[in-house]
């Protein structure tokens, strides 16, 4: 007979970790007497980070005494107390290998249902004083699990746990946890798993993404954890491309056409993708890398990039020192901000130099058989005619579309700029303006431009259309994600403090920082944090793929090995170190 050994509760508090303050409720303490289990949690208990814990599907966390004993032996520890693993219920019985998703139990006068395994994150490592613990509980198939409260009731230590229903499909907690996190994703097991109504919506979505990837024959990466798979890379690292043409596209934008040295066609780039260009402005300094969206025809056999002259080292060097006939080093086209094929109406919204990836999309719709029936809206904002790059190109592409619409907005038109000819509206792009001109609500929206333009437009659009229809491209650093860290704002990217390392050069392309590796850092993630690079992470031990980032060039060593490798051309930076110079898309 299974029994409750201890009921544990805890409230959010701040703990110090690696010089930061982390908000967490993973510290739980046993309570005496009976406790009311409510729909969202136990009386006296709260979760700190509701994106990863808590809510109706994760009201109570359960962990087993047998796993306590296992970890005591494995870690050679004897200091565990009840609630050590952040669980609300310490139980005798209910092994992860035996309990199935959807099983129902009566405890005290409450009724509970198993919804999902624990989602492992770095705070378990902090609580256990063992940073690899989030990976260990998965790889050793002892994650623990969550209960949903079907009937609220009081529970207490010593209560017997009575199973009152078997979950459908009989997939255990340990099995479904491995299904998501390990490299093995058998299609039959995935089909069974997504049929379980009790499985939480988050896990349903992840396993459905895995199932679709398996059915589509996706061969690399974990679609359940990193759903957007980058298109395959045409080549690894950098290759030389020759500048075959260059034009001034506006007062402050110059384009460069790049082609393979042997005169062959450059491989196809999916409309919206970018390339990384490696430049050597000073022979005695490390090279610099810059990211540029491709803005020419995807089928043209060349890569066209457009560079805004704004005083940065990269753009200044390209504008002043790179000429027709010169060679630059370029990565293969990369990125997941790409135009979906099909016949759904498409709205291309750009401002300033943000025109570039959307111009490639416009080329694609203009040259696409399917696109002839597609409603395409080209809406571009610029300061004035002098700063309006690719004005003529865009107009002629839209004119070639059967269902093309064009709107040009100037914020400060020049004295000679003609309304109705050069531009249509003076001012700024707003949602009411989009509605006024008849933009369809059920379109796919692609946005690219300065951060303020993107933020304002994304916010207003999301009040009107589904979030999944809004796609944005960010040129600079990505938005960081560091769950629980109290003050996670990044400053301007910089060299790490203290003596600089002497290892391989690590270049963060989006952040325009290149530094030598230093072994005082345990991972590329730690180095990035020391440089105030925007990063995303959760487990910090190679399980969750939150830190998955583009590896443009270079070789890495993993420790620990990720449970499931990232997509080809990507890296898990939380558990890797460089063994050569590396360029990261960060």
Least Cβ distance, residue 40 to ligand FES (angstroms): 27
How long, in residues, is the chain?
586
Cβ 574 to ligand FES, closest distance in Å?
3
Helix axes 173-181, 201-216, angle to 10 degrees: 50
| Nearest C-alpha neighbor of 509 from the set 474, 538, 557 | 474
Give me the least distance between CB of 32 and ligand FES, in Å please: 37
Q: Residue 354: which of 437, 261, 421, 449 has the closest Cα?
A: 449
Rounded to 5 degrees, φ, ψ at 371 are -65, -15
At closest approach, how far in Å is the CB of 115 from ligand FES?
Answer: 22
CB of 84 to ligand FES, least distance (A): 22
DSSP summary character for residue 248: E
Which of the residues 129 through 158 are near ligand FES (CB under 6 A)?
Answer: none
Q: Smaller CB distance to ligand FES: residue 223 or 339?
A: 223
Using DSSP's 3-state secondary structure scheme, residue 260 falls into strand
- Binding-site member from 22, 99, 136, 574 for ligand FES (CB under 6 A): 574
CB of 537 to ligand FES, least distance (A): 4
Binding track over 85-124 against ligand FES, x by CB under 6 A: ----------------------------------------
**Residue 416: partners with Cβ closer than 8 Å, 6 or more residues away:** 385
Q: Min. distance of Cβ 539 from ligand FES in angstroms?
A: 4
Closer CB to ligand FES, 281 or 560, in the complex:
560
At closest approach, how far in Å is the CB of 540 from ligand FES? 5
For ligand FES, the closer of residues 83 and 230 by Cβ is: 230
Query: Edge to edge, what strands does the sheet with 253-260 contain?
Result: 288-293, 274-279, 327-331, 238-250, 253-260, 303-308
Q: Please identify, using beta-carbon distances, which residue of 443 and 539 lies nearer to ligand FES.
A: 539
Work out how close the CB of 543 gets to ligand FES at its nearest, in angstroms, rounded to a whole number: 5
Q: 87 and 28 in contact (C-beta within 8 Å)?
A: yes
Tell which positions 486-545 bind ligand FES, by CB under 6 A: 537-540, 542-545
Around Cβ 390, how many Cβ atoms within 10 Å?
A: 22
| CB 500 to ligand FES: min, Å | 25
The answer to whether 387 and 425 are in contact (CB under 8 A) is no
**Structural tokens at position 537:** 């992470």
What is the Cα–Cα distance from 371 to 375, expressed in whole angstroms?
8
The token pair that represents 357 in the structure block: 């990836």
Q: At what angle do helices 355-366 and 391-400 cross, to 10 degrees?
A: 30
- Using DSSP, state whether 459 is helix, strand or coil: helix
Q: Which is nearer to ligand FES, 7 or 225 (CB)?
A: 225
DSSP three-state, residue 28: coil
Q: How far is CA 373 from CA 67, 242, 345, 401, 583, in A?
A: 60, 37, 9, 9, 41
Give the pair of three-digit tokens for residue 37: 């289990």
Is 242 in contact with 330 (CB distance < 8 Å)? no
Give the nearer residue to ligand FES in terms of CB position, either 228 or 386: 228
**Least distance to ligand FES, CB of residue 122, Å:** 8
Q: Is 314 or 578 the residue whose CB approaches ligand FES more closely?
A: 578
How many chain residues interact with ligand FES (CB under 6 A)? 12
| Integer Cα distance of 190 and 203 in angstroms | 11
Query: Closest separation between CB of residue 225 and ligand FES, Å?
Result: 8
Per residue, what are the HEC states of 50-97? CCCCCCHHHCEEEEEHHHHHHHHHHHCCCCCCCCCCCCCEEEECCCCC
User: In terms of CB distance, is 544 or 584 closer to ligand FES?
Assistant: 544
Between residues 132 and 473, which has the closer beta carbon with respect to ligand FES? 132
Q: Looking at beta carbons only, is 181 or 238 nearer to ligand FES?
A: 181
SS3 category, 332 = coil
DSSP label of 168? G
Closer by beta carbon to ligand FES, 68 or else 537: 537
| HEC string for 402-454 | CCEEEEEEECCCCCCCCECCCECEECCCCHHHHHHCCCCCCCEEEEECCHHHH
| Tokens describing residue 459 | 């916010």
Q: Which residues, including other chains, have CB under 8 Å from residue 310's CB and lie 6 or more apart?
A: 252
Q: How far, in Å, CA of 126 to CA of 118, rounded?
A: 16
Cis amide bond preceding 510, omega within 30: no
Which residue lies nearer to ligand FES by CB, 28 or 540?
A: 540
Gap between the Cα atoms of 191 and 94, Å rounded: 25
Q: Is 547 in the site for ligand FES (CB under 6 A)?
A: yes
Q: How far is the CB of 90 from ligand FES (least distance, A)?
A: 26
Q: How far is the CB of 560 from ligand FES (least distance, A)?
A: 10
Letters for 65-84 (x = contact with ligand FES by CB under 6 A, - = none) are --------------------
Q: Which is nearer to ligand FES, 277 or 543 (CB)?
A: 543
Nearer to ligand FES, 443 or 563 (CB): 563
Binding site for ligand FES (CB under 6 A): 537-540, 542-547, 572, 574
């Amino acid at each position: 007979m299974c029994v409750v050994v201890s009921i544990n509760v805890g409230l959010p508090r701040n703990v110090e970790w690696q010089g930061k303050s982390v908000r967490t409720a993973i510290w739980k303490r046993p309570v005496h007497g009976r406790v009311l289990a409510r729909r969202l949690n136990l009386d006296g208990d709260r979760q700190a980070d509701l994106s990863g814990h808590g809510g109706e599907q994760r009201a109570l966390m359960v962990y087993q005494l047998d796993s306590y004993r296992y970890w005591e032996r494995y870690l050679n520890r004897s200091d565990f107390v009840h609630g050590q693993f952040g669980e609300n219920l310490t139980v005798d019985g209910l092994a992860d290998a035996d309990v199935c998703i959807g099983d129902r139990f009566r405890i005290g006068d409450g009724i509970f249902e198993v919804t999902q395994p624990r989602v492992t994150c770095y705070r378990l490592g902090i609580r256990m004083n063992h940073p690899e613990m989030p990976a260990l509980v998965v790889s050793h198939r002892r994650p623990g699990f969550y209960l949903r409260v079907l009937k609220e009731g009081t529970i207490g230590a010593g209560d017997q746990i009575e199973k009152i229903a078997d979950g459908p499909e009989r997939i255990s907690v340990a099995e479904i946890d491995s299904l998501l996190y390990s490299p093995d994703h058998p299609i039959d097991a995935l089909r069974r798993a997504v049929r379980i109504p009790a499985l939480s919506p988050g896990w349903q979505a992840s396993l459905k993404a895995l199932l679709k990837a398996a059915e589509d024959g996706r061969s690399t990466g974990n679609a359940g954890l990193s759903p957007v798979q980058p298109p395959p890379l045409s080549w690894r690292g950098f290759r030389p491309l020759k500048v075959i043409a260059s034009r001034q596209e506006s007062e402050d934008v110059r384009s460069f056409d790049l082609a393979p040295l042997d005169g062959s066609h450059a491989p196809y780039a999916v409309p919206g993708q970018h390339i990384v260009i490696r430049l050597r402005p000073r022979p005695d300094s490390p090279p610099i890398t810059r990211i540029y969206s491709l803005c020419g025809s995807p089928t043209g056999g060349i890569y066209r990039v457009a560079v805004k002259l704004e005083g940065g080292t990269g753009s200044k060097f390209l504008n002043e020192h790179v000429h027709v006939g010169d060679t630059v080093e370029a990565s293969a086209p990369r990125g997941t901000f790409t135009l979906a094929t099909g016949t759904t109406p498409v709205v291309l919204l750009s401002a300033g130099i943000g025109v570039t990836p959307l111009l490639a999309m416009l080329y694609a719709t203009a040259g696409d058989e399917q696109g002839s029936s597609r409603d395409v809206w080209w809406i571009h904002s610029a300061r004035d005619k002098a700063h309006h790059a690719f004005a003529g190109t865009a107009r002629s592409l839209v004119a070639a579309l059967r269902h093309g619409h064009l709107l040009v907005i100037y914020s400060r038109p020049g004295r000679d700029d003609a309304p109705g000819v050069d531009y249509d509206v003076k001012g700024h792009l707003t949602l009411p303006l989009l509605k006024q001109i008849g933009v369809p609500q059920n379109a796919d929206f692609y946005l690219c431009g300065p951060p303020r333009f993107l933020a304002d437009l994304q916010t207003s659009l999301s009040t009107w259309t589904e979030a999944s229809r809004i796609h944005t491209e960010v040129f600079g650093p990505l938005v960081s994600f560091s769950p629980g860290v109290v003050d996670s704002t990044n400053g301007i990217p910089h060299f790490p403090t203290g003596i600089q390392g002497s290892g391989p050069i690590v270049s963060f392309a989006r952040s325009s920082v290149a530094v030598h590796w230093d072994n005082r850092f345990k991972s590329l993630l730690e180095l990035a944090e020391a440089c105030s690079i925007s990063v995303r992470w959760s487990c910090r031990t190679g399980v969750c793929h939150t830190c998955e980032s583009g590896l443009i060039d270079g070789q890495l060593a993993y420790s620990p090995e990720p449970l499931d490798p990232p997509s080809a051309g990507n890296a898990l930076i939380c558990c890797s170190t460089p063994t050569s110079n590396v360029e990261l898309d960060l």
